[in-house]
Chain A
């Protein structure tokens, strides 16, 4: 079906669905583990819970090679610029999971050196509650993210739609 801007809607949705399916099943996590939650993250990639069953096997510490950043643990003001830089280095499409109370909102550290939630710095797709969340809760969060990727509801997708609207709105 031809569109005013020249694209074909049938093809793009098919390709979008295909891309979503591919992306959601090959999430490469970047564990940005700082505190207690990092230990629970380790539990979820270990034998008992085995995150590899969801295509998220390859844990990469290099931001260039990963597309799902799991911020596990408290982010302090001192750590803030580092998180930002690591996030900026990741290639699109990229997704962020805030794991645990500290990363989501600062938790019970309403203090002079603690960031009150990492969304002060970077956009977050899924917040996982718990202190620390159980590995089940983290995997549940990842499944939720997979669902969002498939439906095109992630921050990355929203940003892209905005971009497209902006470019089509431009005269000429």
Chain B
């Protein structure tokens, strides 16, 4: 079920009403309801997906108990490896099988021995990368002793399948979300109001910003051979806004919906395009995935400790794996490698943690230096985004090469004349709210109710005026 569908507009109020109608002390019934609702939400795409998520859930539930109950280190390690192999095996099969088959076929063909193996017709279950990482974090944390194993299968299953964040994150840590399923929840008006506001902002980002950019991005990327360099640059910039609006919009809706039910999810985005260097960007972009890789991959392989060569190796590993997590295509690997290259100079010079605060904190405008650094960082990410968006490496290389041309001085073909106005408004609101959790968290807080509600109504009207009329899935569903 898509957030931006009429089905969800009926589903959410219904589940909300049922949930809070259950007495607070009956946490078990509330969890059962959330579990049932989450399976309905997920099964709306394809009921076959439910078998897979149910299997992963049960497997990790019992493996977690097995790990916690055992004092034999070999057995504990065996159980952990079972979880890793099965979960990553399933992910690998559904997401990467055909990719590796193609590479193998290509390699053997080079030596005149084509394998002749045919691709399998595999449907990628929506959100598999997200819930796989979520359950993995659980078994790893239990193995490390950082978390007690859950003994409540309903609460655990509800944690794995929690519908607001099931299909595109944030990738929750069991240590943050699982205990919330065990505790009785009281309705908090302030959280619900804030959640509602965040949902509105998420829909604005997705339906007004991302989807309007998407039309032009699709047009420009499809016709890159004949487009002027300035139009290609515009296409890359618009894709940067598309993917940010799409993904962070989803995270905002997910976080807001969770808050309606009394849950607090981890923050996933922190105004990444206001970053002054690429290290800051990665502390602000898809935070739940970046920190997952940091805690479960980067630190275990040595992190920033050790020799320069090791630190370079570790940096490349984490960025390449992060790229590959996004999809079975060389373009994602190059995207990861490019970001590693951007990151290395900062790491090697020890300047990767120099911008830890918010840009222009306490001030209305940035300094010229900050503006320059933000623009430079944004430009670098835009070039990397071309690889992320392109259908294959040749497409990406041609696109980037096309951006360097005298036609860069010509006026770009904008396509949609509303976009500068919409993007200007969006950037302005995000900049004003950059010290908060999301763009409009405190917008209008000093105004009277009429003014504040008028502002929210205006956002709703803009959604009604500019949204696409066909349901458009979120980009990150494919990952």
- Are A and B a genuine interacting pair, yes or no? no
